[in-house]
Amino acid sequence: MCCPQLRTLVFGAWLLGYVAFLLSIRRMWTGKSVRSPLVRSLLMSMVTENDAAAAETQEWYRCSPELLGESVRPVFVQSHLDSDTKAFLKRSGEKFLGRGSMFVFSEEQFHRLLGIGPDWRADRLLDLGAGDGGVTEVMGAHFREVYATEVSLPMRWHLQRRNYKLLGIDEWQQTGFQYDVVSCLNLLDRCDDPLHLLRDIRLSLVPSTGRLILAAVLPFQPYVEVGGRWQRPKEHIKVTGKMWEEQVTNLSNEVFQRAGFEVEAVTRLPYLCEGDMYNDYYVLDDAVFVLKASEDKST
């Protein structure tokens, strides 16, 4: 007779312990990864409407503007967890194995950064290192022609399926035309000659109106893969500062100015990538800049 009661007590104790465990790890929502789809779905179900305001100031998007340099502080754009980002996280959790799709910014975030509306149109977009084209698609609807580069053969196949015009990594600078927008997302720290890349991009932009959208993972740790081994790039960029705000300021004032750019807008966003059988997704800390060519920089 006591067995059912004992089982009930044991189950109740286990349930209370499990709920306490979930509460203790709620901070994983803003951590590097949420490992179990079950845990993540339970965590999501625990997020109430009262948590909506707190989501806008969570760690993924947190910035202390007073710690930014004077040249950067006025152009900082505060971002938040929006519906497109939530949808990507939900899709990642529902897939058993992702194909490594990336998410850098939503359509709304793209509009805010560039200061454009849904009906804005231009001629040419170039997405350098476009991956499978997921982020390219967010931008591509605004352009008459969409060009992309990518070294991964499987990812090139995805880009061709989306009907983007593929260019070689040594070809995009020599097409004879210029681009209204060039995106260089999380590529600067994996490039052997990043300053040369920035100078090439500057020359490839439409004068005056052309813009570069550049995302950089912070802290900035540049490495390139050569023959299956990771090594320091030939052209090493040293970014000083321990905090996100300090590194953003140093990138803006030293690296970008040196390459002939000035910052028009910057925001803090999570760089999300679909995970594997062990993780729903992975997340890194991104600074996303909109850069325009400096008027006083000779070409």
Helices 83-94 and 37-46 meet at what angle, rounded to 10? 150
Tell me the three state secondary structure of residue 213: strand
Fill in the amino acid letter for 84.
Answer: D
Q: Does the pLDDT at position 268 exceed 70?
A: yes
* Rg over CA atoms, the chain: 22
Mean pLDDT calculated for residue range 59-81: 95
Task: Please tell me the predicted confidence (pLDDT) of residue 276.
Answer: 62
Mean pLDDT of the chain: 83
Residue 1 scores a pLDDT above 60: no
Q: What is the mean pLDDT of residues 39-57?
A: 46
Calculate mean pLDDT across residues 38-67.
Answer: 61
* Res 33 pLDDT > 50: no
| DSSP code string of 97-131 | S----EE---HHHHHHHHT--TT--EEEEEEET-T
The span from the CA of 287 to the CA of 217, in Å, is: 6
pTM of the model: 0.79
Question: Measuring CA to CA, how many Å separate 75 from each of 78, 133, 220, 223, 248?
Answer: 10, 28, 21, 29, 12
> For position 226, what pLDDT does the model report?
81
Name 31's Cβ contacts closer than 8 Å, sequence gap at least 6.
Answer: 283
Q: Which residues contact 205 (CB under 8 A, 6 or more apart)?
A: 178, 179, 180, 182, 211, 212, 293
Per-residue pLDDT band for 275 (boundaries 50, 70, 90) equals low
Q: What is the pLDDT of residues 187-228, one digit of tens each?
A: 999 999 999 999 999 999 999 999 999 999 999 999 988 877
Domain 71-293 indexed as CATH 3.40.50.150: yes
Is the confidence at residue 273, as pLDDT, over 90? Answer: no
177 has pLDDT over 70: yes
Per-residue tokens: 83 = 């519906």
Residue where the block lists tokens 């209370």: 16
Query: What spatial distance separates the first Cα and last Cα of the chain, rounded to whole Å?
Result: 88
- Averaged pLDDT for residues 97-119: 89
Of 250 and 29, the structure prediction assigns the larger pLDDT to 250
Residue 140 pLDDT more than 70?
A: yes
Q: Please say if the pLDDT value at position 175 is more than 90.
A: yes
- Residue for token pair 């560039």: 114
Residue by residue, DSSP assigns 155-195 as HHHHHHHTT-EE--TTTGGGSSS-BSEEEEES-GGG-SSHH
Mean pLDDT of 78-102: 80
